[in-house]
Structure 1
Amino acid sequence: MIDFKNGSFFKLRPSADGAEMVAPILLPDENVVMSFKSVRDTVVFTNKRIITVNVQGLTGKKKDFSSLPYAKIQAFSVETAGTFDLDSELELYFSGLGKVRLEFLGNVDISSICRFISEYVLR
């Protein structure tokens, strides 16, 4: 599992290949809504959970998949990009896990991610 307590995830940018990476572990009625990638790692938002993929080793064949269900989110916060700080941040607080912090490059629409999470957390 990714050590979420030790720093934050690398800066994430939109990616189209996240669906392919998590396809083997998706449920039959689960769909990828959006995905983001850093240098090697990936974060995928589905209609049921957030899946983080930590690529390990020199060859990158070993991967660690962490499943973060929306139902376990107790609170979250969003920090938008500014004039000098061009990156945005999403902090999610999970029961039993603690805080998960994801940092996005400035061109990511963090407000749409916030609205998306709100749909599942605030039901």
Structure 2
Amino acid sequence: MGLLDGLLGNASETDTHAIQLELSQLLAPGEEVCKSYVVIRDLLVFTTKRLLLIDKQGVTGKKREYHSIPYRSIERYSTETTGHFELDADLKIWVRGMAEPISRSFRGDKLIYEVSRTLSEYTL
């Protein structure tokens, strides 16, 4: 990921091997990281068993909140692309048992299609 992309909020794919090592304490036996994307400081991690949404908090990003969503719990999702005057693309994921969707914004369409395609691959 380029520094400029991160500061602008553009999503970019990350090194899955590095993420696998970083999350080794959280992953179940045999669970592997398949794809991962970073948006500013937050991560979307697709594993063989679930979607992990990692929210890095605080100034240093050392404090983190991990949302673990089994693929079977994802009921639906939507992708909203950018327009002429709207520069943000949005991904919304509805999870069983939650009234409101989980929402992530991307600056531009650069990887929203790939993230959506990956979500489709694991949920359909």
TM-score by length of 2: 0.71
Unpaired runs of at least 5, structure 1: 1-10
The one-letter code matched in structure 1 to 2:52 is I
Equivalent residue, structure 1, for 2:77 = 76
| Residue 32 in structure 1 maps to residue 30 in structure 2 | no
Partner Cα separation in structure 1 for residue 106 and residue 26 of structure 2: 24
Q: How does 1:47-66 map to 2 (within 5 A)?
A: 47-66=48-67
Higher relative contact order (CA 8 A, sep 6+): 1
Aligned length: 113
State the partner residue of 2:12: 14
Q: Partner residue of 1:104?
A: 106
Residue of structure 1 equivalent to 2:117: 115
Unaligned runs of 5+ in 2: 1-8
Report if aligned partners of 1:71, 1:120 keep a CA contact under 8 Å in 2: no
1:94 Cα deviation after fit:
0.4
Q: Which amino acid aligns with 1:101?
A: S
C-alpha spacing 1:115/1:107, structure 2 compared with 1 (3 Å): closer
Identity %: 36
For 1:33 and 1:64, locate their aligned partners in 2 and report how far apart those are by CA, in whole Å: 20
TM-score normalised over the length of structure 1? 0.71
